[in-house]
Structure 1
Amino acid sequence: MNLPNNIALTAKKVLNAEAEAIARLADFIDEEFENCVKAILQLKGRVVVTGIGKSANIAQKIVATLNSTGTPALFMHAADAIHGDLGMIQPDDFVICISKSGNTPEIKVLVPLLKRKGSKLAALVCSTDSYLAQSADFVLNANVEREACPHNLAPTTSTTASLALGDALAVSLLEARGFSSSDFATLHPGGSLGKRLYLKVEDIYTQNEAPSVKEDATLKEIIIEISSKRLGATAVVKKDSEELVGIITDGDLRRMLNKYEAIQAITATDIMTPAPLTVEPDCYAAEAMAIMQDKSITQLIVTKSGKFEGFVHLHDLLKEGLV
């Protein structure tokens, strides 16, 4: 086999062709697209997305995106539909049929059956003159000039355009519903994505030791507290309360040895960093992680109304998979 010497050039041509095709889709977002979104918003049933071949693969991804952004959706393979799966569609459902040509035999059989069900039908097609487009209540125009395949045969640009138009539909519905990040979190509780959206500092810091010393603590007391609690730092609080006044880290101790000759009389106030960075217990863990990364530190003090509560450590967040 002789390897071509223009692999990179071919890849760039494909990406440029698909990028241009997606950019052209913006010209096709019209009143019909808006009316389709409005119809889905008023829907009592579900969105059923169907297609055949590569269009079926795109349909499955669109269904996943709709479900994850607050629009209940189902996938139905167009070939299976005419062999029993049509039973999943109810009169209050909304069907989106994806087809490049809009004229495949399976689609021509399926469309009259869908119309008989009484469901609204949107055609996501490349050809607005096709049987499917002419039969639909709404037409989502995903027209492309040609495929990225050099023979203009393999579905490439057309499937990318259909996928992008499906994303545009899903996000339009998301924004129209006022779907928030907290709504998103309820649908994505698993994995690092879900944790970024729901895990809070209060879910983590209570598992750690809470090293603290009074502001007049001796050097010996400070070292014992840091060493025994194994977080590499201790909070410094007022003598008569738990109000936070500073933090002492391992680094502060090393710098202290370089700064002072006589260390016997040193207290926490002499070596602490005053007014340290803190987070509240109800702060999202992802926000705490962002602060640590921005400031190049490995721990944050947790306070509530200015009073010391504990520590959240970078290792805690790494263990939760937030990076």
Structure 2
Amino acid sequence: MYLIAGVLGIALLVVAYFFISNNAFIGSVDDEFVRYLDQHEMPISGTFDDESTVYLFGENHGFAGNQLADEQLFLSLNKQYGIRYYLAEVDSATAGLLNRFLAAPEQDTLLLKNFVNAYRTRIPQQASRELYDKWSRLHQFNQQLDDSLKISVLGIDKDIDDTVSGIPRDSAMMVNFVNILAAKGLQREKFYGFFGFFHVLQSDPVGMERPFAQRLKAANYPVCSIAGFALDSDMYLPKGLGMPTPDNERVGIANSDGPLILVKGIKDLKAASLPNSTTLFKLNANGSPYLASQKLISIKIIKVGADFMPKSEHETTTDYFQYALLLRNSAALQGLE
């Protein structure tokens, strides 16, 4: 009896330690940051005042709200700057399927399903009903445009079958991007892209490869990065990924306030937003506290070696990204049958 009580006591102490430690890492609400965020919230379909060449939105995969946010950001930038080139986290062959779908006068539902299934091979969490519906709507939008203004998807990721070259994915993305620009004569164009969170960072966290956005910046392409976060939301976790998955393939453990992911300063974003919302914040305005902070770029992940931490004490939030997009109470993506 005493042994069992002792073991339970130790277990409770361990749980309490991690709870206190995790909350200390995230930090409490900071009124200075909340006041700034309240003053620099903007609608997701609002006007960007950053005249960049490449605009990138980085997400944590599996949240339904990000698909709608991606669509709204792209349409907003299309309206504002005439951006029609969409950079995708797929290879050129998969992008070709989507371009054929977009170019056809009528929607080829089988072709769109083939695209979603091809996406499943690379990013299983993205192969969803919401991905299908997003491109169905963008097809309708595309049909309203003159031929010279129609959407074109550029697949810049490594070939999915490339398992021997040893070239890092983000290096391949950069090479493919530059080669596509040269081949198509797009040097004067602007671009929008939707990627995983890491790829849009404009500096490399400790111990990691250089992200795609950092490579763009180093090559003198003006880049604007939008980092996505989620709170009180469900993530799609399809079966077959080697992780315990509930029957409904939805989990609530991958939010930015834990238990698997801990983002320093995320409580400020929560305090400056409403439940059931998608909120976009500009982080780099004059006088922003993020210009002298490492909030939102200090991220603990409950997996050895997976933390995202700035490599220098002199780096700040806005060295990595300039906008933050917060999902509140997002549903999980739904698998496409």
What TM-score range do you get, normalising by the shorter chain? under 0.3
Name the TM-score, length of structure 1 as normaliser. 0.22
RCO comparison, higher one (Cα < 8 Å, 6+): 2
Name the TM-score, length of structure 2 as normaliser. 0.22
Pick the structure with greater CA Rg.
1
